[in-house]
Copies of this chain bind each other. A is one copy, B any other.
């Protein structure tokens, strides 16, 4: 039991990505989705998934997809915890730009010993969310239940508070930051263009509403107000 289990950076990124994709759609996660998220080919993913399955980190159902095992989920949550703690540190302590820290944290998350993670969490006073609003798993890997809905599901005319932005990528974050879409802001869905058109969303304090594609609106989570 409890083999030495060296977790490579690659392994950690696979597990983290599977965890993120599992939260979005109903598992199992399709090989092709994983491939797209990780930026590698499907055959590469399949091969890696077989390696992960051999280590009991995921379950692979041929032609269906992958799911994390308990052990795999624990590892994934540990990576997510380190990632989001580092993001907090980079924004709050080092004052690096909100839209850049995701990429920096994606490197640090694989190079952080447990003692460092613990000390960092203590130094930051055990924060519960990352700068993009996403929950930081606790030391046991648990996250509070999610009470948010995608901006995409808001009714026209409805107002809401922006909670979190998922699928953090520098380009998306920079785009959103420039338009005021930051966790905590108040916004109103003013209109939705037909035929899968964009959503017109006004951020409180901005003169004009922003036009957000559905792809983006599905990545922004909100809590409706009143």
A180 to B43, CA, bound (A): 56
A119 to B110, CA, bound (A): 20
A121 to B190, CA, bound (A): 46
Residue interface bits A109-135, CB-to-B below 8 A is 1, else 0: 011110110011011000000000000
Query: Is A116 within 8 A of B90, CB to CB?
Result: yes
Which one of B94, B110, B113, B123 lies within 8 Å of A104 (CB-CB)?
B113
- Is A24 in the interface zone, CB < 8 Å from B? no
Which one of B93, B107, B123 lies within 8 Å of A111 (CB-CB)?
B107
- Is A225 in the interface zone, CB < 8 Å from B? no
Smallest Cβ distance from A67 to chain B, in angstroms?
29
Which one of B90, B100, B107, B120 lies within 8 Å of A94 (CB-CB)?
B120
User: What are the residues of chain B within 8 A of A5 when measuring CB–CB?
Assistant: none
Number of interface residues of A (CB under 8 A): 20
- Is A103 in the interface zone, CB < 8 Å from B? yes
Query: Is A123 within 8 A of B93, CB to CB?
Result: yes
User: Which partner residue on chain B sits nearest A115 by CB separation?
Assistant: B96
Query: Is A104 within 8 A of B108, CB to CB?
Result: no
A143 to B116, CA, bound (A): 28
* Main SS class of interface, A: helix
Query: Is B110 within 8 A of A96, CB to CB?
Result: no
Query: Is A107 within 8 A of B96, CB to CB?
Result: no
User: What are the residues of chain B within 8 A of A120 when measuring CB–CB?
Assistant: 94
User: Which partner residue on chain B sits nearest A108 by CB separation?
Assistant: B111
Which one of B93, B100, B104, B112 lies within 8 Å of A107 (CB-CB)?
B112
User: What are the residues of chain B within 8 A of A90 when measuring CB–CB?
Assistant: 116, 119
A116 with B96: in contact, given A107-B111, A110-B111, A111-B107 (CB under 8 Å)? yes
Q: Residues on A close to B: CB < 8 A?
A: 90, 93-96, 100, 103-104, 107-108, 110-113, 115-116, 119-120, 122-123
